[in-house]
Structure 1
Amino acid sequence: MKLFRRIFLQALLAVVIISQATLIYFLYEAQQQTVNDWRKNEQTEYTNKLREMDRRLESTGLIFHTGNTETDVIRLELINVFREVFGSNGALFYKGECAYNSSPYEFNYKELWENTYKRSEGDSIPVQKVEDKKILILMSSEMYMGNPYTVVFYNDITEIYERTARLFAKGLMMTLILLLLAGGILYRSLSYTIRPLLQLKDAAAAISEGNYQVRVDDSRKDEIGQLAKSFNHMAMTVQENIEALTSTNETQRRMLGSLAHELKTPMTAIIGYADTLLTVRLSDRRREQALTYIGRECRRLSRLSVKMLELTGLYEEKKQAVDFEKCQVRELLDNVRQLMKFKLSEKNIDLETECIPENLSWEMDQDMMVSFFVNLVDNAYKASENGGKIFIHADEQGITVKDQGRGIPEEELNRVTEAFYMVDKSRSRSSGGAGLGLALCKEIAGLHGAQLIIKSKEGAGTSVIFQRLQNGYTLEDIRKNAL
C-alpha cells in the first residue's frame, strides 16, 4: 500500500497546487484588469476636472489684475474653485503647503510628489496604501497668476482588493470541496488501477512459495493488462519448466530402479552358471553350453542397459527405443525357460510352455520381450510356493503367464503396474523386489502396441496377459508409438 499512498498524496498535492495556482492567477489578472479600468476612468475624470478648474479660474477676472491681486486672495480663489470642481475627492497644495483637504486622509506632499507625480509621468498610475486603504492618486502641478499650486485627486479602490480577497476565500473553500470530491474519485480510480498490481504481487508471492498454478486476470486492454499477460506467460513457463524438471527427476529415478531391477535376473543366471562351473565337474559340451549362456547374457545386459535408457527417454528424442524384427515365439519362450532354470530350481517350481502353432512368429524387440517374460516369471516365482507350477501359453491373440501363487487382492489390481508400488512391501523387500517389474512390463507392452491385462484372485493365483493389437493396427503404428 506504500505505492498507493504515495501516488494518492502526490496526486492530491498536484490538484491543490494546480487549482490554487490557477485561482490566484485568474484573481490577480481580474484584479489588475479592474484596477487598470479604474485608472483609465480616473485619469479621464481628473483631466476633465482640471480643464473645468482652469476654465473657472479664467472666468473670475483675477487673471487681468495680477498686479493688484494679493497672495491670500489668489489662495482663496483657488480653494473656492477647487471645492466647486473636485469637492471632497482631493486636496489642494499652494506653494508646497496644504491649502485645502476635505478628504478623510492626510497626504504627505513631498512623499506624494516623489512616489506619485514623478512615477505617473508615464502611462501607469500607482496605487498607494494610505491608512490601510488602497487608493488611486493623481496629482499635477499647475500655475495660476504666477503662483504654483498642486491638485491631488484620489479614489478609494479598497473594495476591489477586498472583493478579490473574498473571491479568494470562496475559491479556497471551493478548492477544499473539490479536493474532497477529487480525493474520492482519485481513490476509487487508483484502487481500480493499483488492484491488478496488488494481485500481481500476491501471485508472485504464491509462485515463490511453490504454487505455480496461480494466474492473474489479464482481461484489461491497457499496459497493466499487457503486464498481466506477460506475468501469466512467465508463470506458465515457470510451471512447465518445474514440471519438466520434476518429470526428468522421476524419469532418472525410474531409470536407476529399472536398471537395477533388470540387471538382477540376468546376473542371477550368470552367477548360477558361474557357480555351476566352479563347483560341478561338467562335460565339455555342458561347460561350453554354460559359457555360451554367460556370454549371451552379458551381451544382453549391455544391450539392455542402452534400451533402458532409451525406454526412459534419456537418450536422443528421435532415437527409436525398440528394434523390431521377426522372431519365433517358441524360441523366445525356450530362452526364458533356460534363463530362469536355476532360479526356479531353488523352489522346485516347474515352468510349462505352450505355443500354438509351434511356428508362431511376431515382429518384436527380442531383448525387451525376454526382459518382459523374465519379469513375469520372476514375479510368479516369488508368489508361488515350493513345488508349484507356472504356465506360459502363446497363440495369435497373445501370451498368458499364469501361476498358482497367493494372488493379488482385488483392491490392489489397479495399482500394481505403478512404478515402485508393492502389494506386500515386507515380503517384496525380503525377496529383493523394488516394485518395478510390472511397471516395466506395462511400458514394454505399450511399446509393442499390446495391452497388459492382469487377472488375479487371492489364494488362487494370477494371470498376466500380453494381449496383441486388434486388426488394422500396423507395424508402422507400433514404431510411431515407440518413439
Structure 2
Amino acid sequence: MKIRSKLAWTYIILLVIGIITISTYSILTIRSFLLDEGAEQFERDALSLALAASSFNEDAQFDQKIQRQAELSQYEIAVYDKDGIRFLQFPEEEFEGEAPYVEASLMAELERQDGEPIVINSDSTQKLIAYVDLGQSENAAQYLRISQDKSEYYAAVASIRHIIYAGMFFSIGAVIIVSFLFARYMASPILQLNAAALDIARGNFDRKIDLKRNDEFGTLADSLNHMAETLRADNEELKKLNEKQSQFFADITHEVRNPLHTIAGALEMLEIEKLQPEKKKQYMNTAQKQIKRVARLFEDIKTLQRYDFDESFLNRQNIDLKSLVDEAQNVFQPIAEKKGLELETNNVSSCIVNADPDKIEQVLDNLISNAIKYTPEGRIEVGLEKKEEVVEVYVQDTGPGIGKEHLDRLFDRFYRTDKARSRDKGGTGLGLSVVKGILNAHQSEIKVESEVGQGSRFYFTLPLVD
C-alpha cells in the first residue's frame, strides 16, 4: 500500500472513531438530560395530581374525576385506601399483573415523607413511578400512584438522534474526501523527495528539489540539495584526481622508459668489440647519468609517498636558517659560476625556526637547482626577510619567467611548462611537488611570483622561535 493510501486510511479511521464516539456520547448525554428533566417535571405533576385528588369529594363522580385527571395528564393513575389496597386505576390494562396493594415498607416511607412524593426511577424498569401520601383528604383515597413509560421522554431523542446520525454520516463523507486530499498534500513532498533521492543515487547530482515549505519537509529538501551539491563537488574532485592519477602513472612510465632506452642503447654500443676507448667512456657516462636520473625519480616519489602516508615524515628541531642558506650557497656556487651565473645571498642573518633541517635543506636545493637550470644568464638571489613572527625564505632569478597559464599547475607532479626542454635538463618533474609536500608538512605553503621575461621568485614562510 502506498504511503498516500496509508495516510488517508489512518486519518479516516481515527476521525470516524472520533465522530462516532462524539455522536454516541452526545445522544447518551441528551437522553440522560431529557430523562432527568422529565423526572423533575414528573415529581411536580405528582404533587399537583395528589393535591387535586385529595380535594375531590367522595361521591358518584369521584371515579370520573380521577379518570379525567389521567386523560388530561397522560399519566397512569392508581388510587389506594388507608390500608394500601388499590380500588381505582386508569387505564386498567396497564395495571394487569401488578400487586393490588402498596407494600408496608413503602407506606411507612410515605408517612415519613410528610406529603413529599417518592419517585422510583430504576434502570431495571421501563417506567417512572411516583407514590404520594394524600394525608387528610375529602374522600377514601389515602395514596396516589402515577406512572409513565420512559419512552415518552425519549421521543425527542429519536428526532435528535436522526439529526446527529445524518450529521455524522455527512461528517464521515467529508472526512473521507478531506483525508484523501490531505494525504495527497502530505505525501506529495515525500514522493518528490523520494524521486530526487533516487535521481541523486543514480548519479544525477544536478537534480535540485524546489520545495517551498517551511516545515521539516522543506528542511529535508534543503539537506538533499546540499548533499547533491557536496556529492557533485566531490565527484568533480574525484574526476580530477582520477585524471591526475592516470596522468601520474603515464608520466612515470614515460619518465622511466626514456632513460631505460638510453641505457639499453649505451649497453648495446658497449658490446661492440672494436669500440674506441673514448666512445666506451662516453657511453658509460651516459648510462651512469641515466641510472642516476632514474634513482632521483624514485627517490622523489618515495619522498612524496612519505608525505602522503607517513605521520612521522618530519624530524623537527630548532635550526638556524642562516647555516642552511650558507651551506646551499657553498654547494651551488661552483655550479652557478660554471654556467656564468651569479649566486648571491641577501640579508641572511641568524633566524631560529623549528623545522626538519634535512627537509628544509632539500627545499632550498630544489629551488636553487631549478633556478640555475632555467636561468640562461644573469643572477640568482637567495634571501631571508623577517616579518613579525615569521621569516620569509625566497629564491629569485632573472630567468625567462613563467606564463600565468602555468602558475596554477606548476607544483603538480610531473608538470612541466616545456616538457621537451625540461627533460633535456635532466629533471624528474617532481622537484616542485616535493617542495610543496615538505612545506605542507610544515604547515607552510610554497608561492611563486613570475612574469614572462621578468624572472621568477619562489618563497615560503616559517614561524620564528623566540
TM-score, scaled to structure 1: 0.57
Q: Is the 8 A contact 1:329 1:361 kept in 2?
A: yes
Q: Is the 8 A contact 2:128 2:147 kept in 1?
A: yes
- 1: CA distance, partners of 2:237 / 2:34: 80
Instruction: Measure how far apart 1:222 and its partner are.
Output: 0.8
Residue deviations 1:202-243 (CA, integer Å, cap 9, x gap): 122223333233232353211111222222333333444444
- In the other structure, the counterpart of 2:89 is 100
Equivalent of 2:66 in 38, 60, 82:
82
Secondary structure in 2 aligned to 1:136?
strand
- 2: CA distance, partners of 1:113 / 1:239: 97
- In the other structure, the counterpart of 2:324 is none
- Closer, same or farther: CA 244–330 of 1 in aligned 2, 3 Å: closer
- Closer, same or farther: CA 237–109 of 1 in aligned 2, 3 Å: same
Matched to 2:131, the amino acid is: M
- 2: CA distance, partners of 1:123 / 1:242: 92
Q: Is the 8 A contact 2:193 2:221 kept in 1?
A: yes
- In the other structure, the counterpart of 1:372 is 419
Residue deviations 1:386-443 (CA, integer Å, cap 9, x gap): xxxxxxxxxxxxxxxxxxxxxxxxxxxxxxxxxxxxxxxxxxxxxxxxxxxxxx99x9
- In the other structure, the counterpart of 1:295 is 288
Residue deviations 1:257-284 (CA, integer Å, cap 9, x gap): 2211221111111111122222254455
Equivalent of 1:327 in 357, 372, 386:
372
- Closer, same or farther: CA 175–371 of 1 in aligned 2, 3 Å: same
- Closer, same or farther: CA 55–124 of 1 in aligned 2, 3 Å: closer
- In the other structure, the counterpart of 2:39 is 39
- In the other structure, the counterpart of 2:258 is 265
| 2:1 is equivalent to residue 8 of structure 1 | no
- 1: CA distance, partners of 2:39 / 2:136: 27
- 2: CA distance, partners of 1:9 / 1:124: 50
- Closer, same or farther: CA 139–295 of 1 in aligned 2, 3 Å: same
Matched to 1:327, the amino acid is: I
| 2:73 is equivalent to residue 30 of structure 1 | no
Residue deviations 1:161-196 (CA, integer Å, cap 9, x gap): 233222222222222222333333333333222211
Residue deviations 1:17-66 (CA, integer Å, cap 9, x gap): 21222222223222322221221122012113213322435xx5xxxxxx
When structure 1 is superposed on structure 2, of 368-377 and 227-236 the one drifting more is 368-377
RMSD of aligned residue pairs (Cα, Å): 5.0
- 2: CA distance, partners of 1:370 / 1:79: 134
Instruction: Measure how far apart 1:15 and its partner are.
Output: 1.7
Equivalent of 2:226 in 202, 226, 233:
233
Equivalent of 2:457 in 454, 464, 475:
475
What does 1:64-463 align with in structure 2 at a 5 Å threshold? 79=63, 82-83=66-67, 85-87=69-71, 89-92=75-78, 94=80, 96-97=85-86, 99-102=88-91, 105-110=94-99, 125-126=120-121, 135-140=127-132, 150-155=143-148, 158-305=151-298, 315=308, 323-325=366-368, 326-327=371-372, 361=399, 372-373=419-420
Size of the aligned set, in residue pairs, is 348
- 2: CA distance, partners of 1:224 / 1:267: 63
Secondary structure in 1 aligned to 2:271?
helix
Residue deviations 1:83-118 (CA, integer Å, cap 9, x gap): 46545632325554563323773454249979xx79
Instruction: Measure how far apart 1:140 and its partner are.
Output: 4.4
- Closer, same or farther: CA 107–31 of 1 in aligned 2, 3 Å: farther
- Closer, same or farther: CA 192–148 of 1 in aligned 2, 3 Å: same
- Closer, same or farther: CA 142–368 of 1 in aligned 2, 3 Å: closer
- 2: CA distance, partners of 1:137 / 1:188: 55
- 2: CA distance, partners of 1:99 / 1:39: 24
Matched to 2:129, the amino acid is: I
Matched to 1:20, the amino acid is: I
Secondary structure in 1 aligned to 2:94?
coil
- 2: CA distance, partners of 1:362 / 1:327: 12
Instruction: Measure how far apart 1:374 and its partner are.
Output: 6.0
- Closer, same or farther: CA 308–215 of 1 in aligned 2, 3 Å: farther
TM-score, scaled to structure 2: 0.58
Q: Percent identity?
A: 16
Q: Is the 8 A contact 1:327 1:362 kept in 2?
A: no
Unaligned runs of 5+ in 1: 61-72, 333-359, 378-439, 448-467
Secondary structure in 1 aligned to 2:43?
helix
Matched to 1:373, the amino acid is: A
Residue deviations 1:259-312 (CA, integer Å, cap 9, x gap): 112211111111111222222544554433332322222222233346679999
Q: Is the 8 A contact 1:328 1:361 kept in 2?
A: no
- 1: CA distance, partners of 2:400 / 2:177: 81
- 1: CA distance, partners of 2:269 / 2:119: 131
Unaligned runs of 5+ in 2: 314-358, 378-397, 403-409, 435-449, 462-466
Secondary structure in 2 aligned to 1:29?
helix
- Closer, same or farther: CA 128–25 of 1 in aligned 2, 3 Å: closer
